[in-house]
Amino acid sequence: MSQPDVIVVGGGLGGLGAAFSLTRQGLRVRLLERAPAFGEVGAGIQLAPNCTRILDDYGLLDEAVRLGVVPDSMVMRDAVDGSELTRLDLRDLEKRYGYPYLVIHRSDLHGLLLRACERVGVELITDAPVTSYENTGGGARVTLSTGETHEAGVVIAADGLHSLARELLVDDEPVSSAYVAYRGTVPAELPRVRSTDLGEVVVYVGPSCHFVHYGLRGGELLNQVAVFESPKALAGQEDWGTPDELDAAFARTCDFVRDGLPYMWRDKWWRMFDREPAMTWVHDRIALLGDSAHPPLQYIAQGAIMAIEDGWVLGEHIARNRAADGTVDWDPALTAYQAVRPEHCRRVVTTSRKWGELWHLDGVPREQRNTLLRARDTYDYSFTDWLYGPTALTPDQEPEMFTPIPLSSAS
């Protein structure tokens, strides 16, 4: 095999997105995936306008829309009494930001990106677990578990929450939230789905738990996610997040939420971790991307989006630092990537934590939260403008954050 310009480690959404982005800039990209075959585990994923804008730039948005659902509204309800707290008009939101809010099955999005990489000629290699990274004189090298080595001008580490490459830059460990997620999909022909508005993305927020549902695959499926804080995790037990805890966590919730629990997959669950924000992502010719750099909790639905943004931003800076003969001046390209992405993703990671705390309140704080949310105007975008607008390429393009509203201000 001839030496590529770039090696991408990791064949998830972030790795495939980066490989496509860099290949469309004329680079030869080799992607190394540790699993024997490409695939994505999970169910639904939400793509806000800051992501669908990039998919449109890639020429992939129309296919994504055909595979997913473009909902009309996002609705937040109280999980205990079922009452509506606030909503977003997603059709109006599309007019404001220029691109739709889309929900899609993770495997459908993954397949879309995989096919795009195949079309543009990304060299896709499976069964290739990387065990070490190192910089070389003029690039970087990775070593596989077999002892085989691969070299390129740059290595992009999209190797996930437990990234080996991150160890070159940050001495830290994943942080457990003590929350766990159960997922499941329900076929459209079942009564559970026929009684549900698939034009809505709905989240029921409750004491130490929440429940999400929305349609997938053009309305063929109802996607459900049930998330709760595990008492076993808080007690330091190793066996936490079990189905008995799922049922106990939602015992106080309304009928609609409880009726959805039997449809969850009970043989697997996802423990929720993030990491403290890392502000250095580049180590000479090795750069972090996606969850290796910024694994978030999922409360503002930006994890995969941040990874896709990372690849797009890197591609744009490569285009700005590429000579007429096709060679890339990697130092300024990676410096520009480092200058803008860590701060944006720090904001997302820390806001995700705060948003999760807000969702899971009980007692008087829950009542204060509900009062403030019910007072919100449907067309108030002050809490989304910093996130859903165009992805910044330079620090000066990063919009100002929203101003938090204290719970104590609720009358």
pLDDT, one tens digit per residue, over 386-397 is 999 999 999 999
β partners of residue 47: 102
Task: Determine how many CB atoms are found less than 10 A away from the CB of residue 109.
Answer: 27
By the 10 Å C-beta count (0-12 exposed, 13-18 middle, 19+ buried), 156 is classed as buried
Q: What residues contact residue 34 under an 8 Å CB cut-off, 6+ apart?
A: 10, 127, 128, 129, 130
User: How many C-alpha atoms does 398 have within 13 Å on its Cβ side?
Assistant: 15
DSSP state of 100: -
User: In this structure, are strands 73-78 and 140-144 parallel, antiparallel, or unpaired?
Assistant: unpaired
Token readout for 278 is 């890392």
Q: Tell me how many helices (H) and strands (E) the chain has.
A: 13, 18
Terminal-to-terminal C-alpha distance of the chain: 68
Q: Which residues contact 325 (CB under 8 A, 6 or more apart)?
A: none
The amino acid at 78: D
Low-confidence winner among 32-41, 108-117, 159-168, 170-179 (lowest mean pLDDT): 32-41
What pLDDT score was predicted for residue 135? 97
Phi-psi region of 147 (alpha: psi -120 to 50; beta: other; left: phi over 0): left
Three-state DSSP class for residue 35: coil
Q: What is the mean pLDDT of residues 63-92?
A: 98
Q: Which domains are assigned to the chain?
A: 6-173+275-409 (3.50.50.60)
| Per-residue pLDDT at 24 | 96
User: What is the model's pLDDT at position 251?
Assistant: 97
Q: What is the pLDDT of residues 276-322, one digit of tens each?
A: 999 999 999 999 999 999 999 999 999 999 999 999 999 999 999 99
Q: Cβ contacts of residue 267 below 8 Å, gap of 6+?
A: none
Residue 21 phi/psi, 5° resolution? Answer: -60, -45
Pairing of strands 73-78, 123-125: unpaired
Clarify whether 214 is annotated catalytic.
yes
**140 burial type by CB count under 10 A (0-12 exposed, 13-18 middle, 19+ buried):** buried
Residues 50, 72: contact at Cβ < 8 Å?
Answer: no
Instruction: Report CA-CA distances (Å) from 16 to 31, 113, 126, 361, 403.
Output: 8, 6, 13, 37, 35
* 177 φ, ψ (degrees, to nearest 5): -90, -10
Query: Which residue type does 393 have?
Result: L
- Residue 222's pLDDT band (boundaries 50, 70, 90)? very high
Q: Which of 5-9, 85-89, 189-193, 366-370 has the lowest mean pLDDT?
A: 189-193
| Res. 39: pLDDT tops 90 | no
Q: How confident is the model at residue 1 (pLDDT cuts 50, 70, 90)?
A: low
pLDDT the model gives residue 185: 94
SS3 310: helix
**pLDDT of residue 139 exceeding 80:** yes
Helices 13-23 and 106-120: crossing angle in degrees, nearest 10, is 30
CB 222 within 8 A of CB 194: no
Of all residues in the chain, what percent carry a pLDDT higher than 90? 96
Average pLDDT rounded to a whole number, residues 123-152: 97
pLDDT of residue 161: 97
For residue 237, which amino acid is it?
Q
Cα–Cα distance between 176 and 163 in angstroms, integer? 16
Q: What is the pLDDT of residue 408?
A: 95
Share of the chain above pLDDT 70, in %: 100
Task: Give the per-residue pLDDT at 336.
Answer: 98
Mean pLDDT score, 6-13: 98
Q: Which residue has the tokens 């001008």?
A: 153
| Ramachandran class of 390: left when φ > 0, alpha when ψ lies in -120 to 50, beta otherwise | beta
Cα 280 to Cα 25: distance, rounded to the nearest angstrom: 25
Assign 3-class secondary structure to 267-335.
Answer: CCCEEEEECCCCCCCEECCEEECHHHCCCCCCCCCCHHHHHHHHHHHHHHHHHHCECCCCCECHHHHHH
- pLDDT of amino acid 406: 96
- Residue among 214, 263, 337, 381 flagged as catalytic: 214
Evaluate whether 198 touches 69 at the Cβ level (below 8 Å).
yes
Question: pLDDT averaged over the chain?
Answer: 97
Whether residue 160 is predicted with pLDDT greater than 90 in this model: the reply is yes
Tell me how far apart the alpha carbons of residues 290 and 121 are, in angstroms, rounded to a whole number. Answer: 22
- What pLDDT does residue 41 have? 75
